[in-house]
């Protein structure tokens, strides 16, 4: 079997952002369930947080290819 350890490292690095994304959307769903009219306010915040957490995973992906 061939490959680089980079990809194993990327797999490990993706755990954190994966959990983070789950927490962000859990909080968003909770918020909308409690107060449905707050949806429009919460949506940009949720996607912003999601983008920030996801960016970390994607930096890992880029580094896995670059290094």
Partner 1 sequence: MRVYAATEGVKDEGFNPPDAGDFNLPPFIDGNSFATKPILLAFLSVLIISVFFILAARKSAVVPSKLQFAGESIYGFVRNDLGRDVIGHEFMRFVPYLFTLFTFILVNNVFGIVPLIQFPTMSRVSFPYVLAAITFFVFHYIGVRRHGLISYLKGIMFIPGVPKPAYILITPLELATYFIVRPMTLSLRLFANMFAGHLLLLVFILGGEHLLQGVIGLKLVSPFSFVVAIALTFFEFMVQCLQAYIFTLLTALYITGALADEH
Question: Which residues make up the interface to partner 1 (CB under 8 A)?
Answer: 40, 44, 47-48, 51-52, 54-55, 58-59, 61-62, 65
C-alpha torsion sign, points 53, 55, 58, 63:
negative
C-beta closer to partner 1: residue 9 or 47: 47
Min CB(40)–partner 1 separation in Å: 7
Kindly tell me which of 19 and 51 has the beta carbon lying closer to partner 1. 51
Tokens of 8: 């194993």
Copy the structure tokens of residue 6: 């980079």
Q: Supply the minimum distance, in Å, between the C-beta of residue 4 and partner 1.
A: 11
Tokens encoding 55: 């960016």
Name the one residue in this structure whose structure tokens are 């449905």: 36
Least distance in Å: CB of 48 to partner 1? 6
> How many C-beta atoms lie closer than 10 Å to residue 24's C-beta?
20
């Amino acid at each position: 079997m061939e490959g680089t350890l980079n990809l194993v490292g990327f797999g490990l690095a993706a755990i954190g952002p994966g959990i983070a994304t789950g927490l962000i959307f859990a909080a968003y769903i909770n918020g909308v369930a409690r107060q449905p009219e707050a949806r429009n306010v919460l949506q940009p915040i949720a996607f912003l947080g999601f983008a920030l957490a996801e960016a970390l995973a994607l930096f890992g992906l880029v580094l896995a290819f670059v290094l």
